Amino acid sequence: MKLKNSALIAIIIILIITISIIGVVTFIPKETKPEENITEPSKYSEKATTILKEKKLFTKVNNLDYSKTLEVMLEENTFNEKYLDAYTKIDYEEINDFPTTINNLLNNNYTYQEINYILKNYLSNINILLNMKHINILEFKDISNFDINKLERYLNYSEENDYDLKTVVTYVNIGLDLEGYSEYKTYTLEEAKDITILVNKYHKLPDNYEPDDLVSLSYNQNYKLRKEAAEAFEELTSAGVLENVIFYPFSPYRSFATQNILYNRYKQVDGEKVADTYSARPGFSEHQLGLAVDIRSSNLTDNLTKEHYEWMLNNSYKYGFIIRYPKGKQNITQYIEEPWHIRYLGIDLATKVHDSGLTYDEYYDIYMEKR
């Protein structure tokens, strides 16, 4: 009996040992093949390959398409493993601080899609983006008049106003996030001659600009416009007469000096703030261009009748004129509605502006401003 028991115990012990050995052997980590010994030809430089093998990433990476960006990151010791996937998808650009730039953008939560877009479009302005929090840059992708130098202004204006981004960009480009007259461009004498030039509270004419081709209107020898505009105005007037829409010019070309007197008189009467809503400061008036004229329906009033205004809205562009300060656009033009003020742009441009439904301030920024 004793012997039998001993044998049984022995068997059990042997069994336990056997099971233990099997268990231990099973759970011993298998000796992995060191990547240093892989002989597969590498797509990468020697230095990059060595690092990849050290990090045991070689097989994984070498199976993917070659990436110059990844290679540079490895060679410049700027490789951060958590961005491996992004590196392989970022297009390489020949710039000095490429590796740091890429890491900074990635640290700033930019995706590889965003980074590729930035590298392609804003390489020379990249610091603007590096110096601010992550922004959804792709949201601006289809906005043709987007100007990255104004990015901070767009973001501020967008926070304060409920407009869509496209509107935000145009309004900020016009300058509407700034007080009128606080910042403006002054044209050269040469630029001022351009028939299509935009004049508003952000675009000023030189004080001494005076058109050299002013001619009198048939209605009154003292009333002048630039030749092309004067001829178009006569045609517009005749077209009106044919449809029994009879109107008269009462304020065409005004010199800087005249505008100065006029504005200061208004300012004295109404104060600067109110005067600014209906009268331009000297140098900022379209009348100084010799391309704008105020019209009225009779000599008894400074206005156009509703019918005449309607006719003008629907017909003036055919003769090259637009209504420059239309109803409901005061927030853009920065002037109260002025049905009587028409501006000559030439038939082609006036038609386009009319068809766009935009104010000239907007149209100019979107389609004509050189960027």
Kindly state whether residue 341 participates in binding Zn ion, applying the rule CB under 5 A.
yes
Which range touches Zn ion (CB under 5 A), out of 178-186, 212-220, 234-242, 334-342?
A: 334-342
* Under 8 Å between Cβ of 203 and 268: no
- Whole-angstrom distance, CA of residue 363 vs CA of residue 23: 79
Sheet holding 292-296, edge to edge: 248-251, 292-296, 338-344, 321-325
- From residue 54 to residue 83, the character string flagging contacts with Zn ion as x (rule: CB under 5 A) and all else as - is ------------------------------
- From residue 130 to residue 169, the character string flagging contacts with Zn ion as x (rule: CB under 5 A) and all else as - is ----------------------------------------
- Kindly tell me which of 143 and 313 has the beta carbon lying closer to Zn ion: 313
- Kindly tell me which of 126 and 342 has the beta carbon lying closer to Zn ion: 342
DSSP-assigned letter for residue 183: S
Minimum Å gap between C-beta 287 and Zn ion is 6
Q: Which residues contact 184 (CB under 8 A, 6 or more apart)?
A: 175, 201, 202, 203, 204, 284
Which range touches Zn ion (CB under 5 A), out of 18-26, 137-145, 274-282, 288-296?
A: 288-296
Minimum Å gap between C-beta 250 and Zn ion is 9
State phi, psi for 249 to the nearest 5 degrees: -75, 145
**Total number of residues that touch Zn ion (CB under 5 A):** 2
Instruction: Output b/e per residue, 347-371; b: 16+ Cβ within 10 A.
Output: eebbebbbeeebbbbbbbbbeeeee
Beta strand 220-226 pairing with 203-204: unpaired
- Residues 366, 167, 183, 346, Cα dihedral to 10°: 30
Minimum Å gap between C-beta 262 and Zn ion is 10
Minimum Å gap between C-beta 252 and Zn ion is 9
Which two tokens mark 277?
């809503």
- Kindly tell me which of 53 and 254 has the beta carbon lying closer to Zn ion: 254
CA count, 13 A, side-chain hemisphere, 254: 24
Which residue is closest to Zn ion by CB?
341
Which range touches Zn ion (CB under 5 A), out of 193-201, 292-300, 308-316, 359-367?
A: 292-300
Residue positions annotated with a catalytic role: 338
* Under 8 Å between Cβ of 263 and 274: no
- Kindly tell me which of 119 and 293 has the beta carbon lying closer to Zn ion: 293
Minimum Å gap between C-beta 341 and Zn ion is 4
- Kindly tell me which of 168 and 322 has the beta carbon lying closer to Zn ion: 322
Q: Footprint of Zn ion on this chain (CB under 5 A)?
A: 294, 341
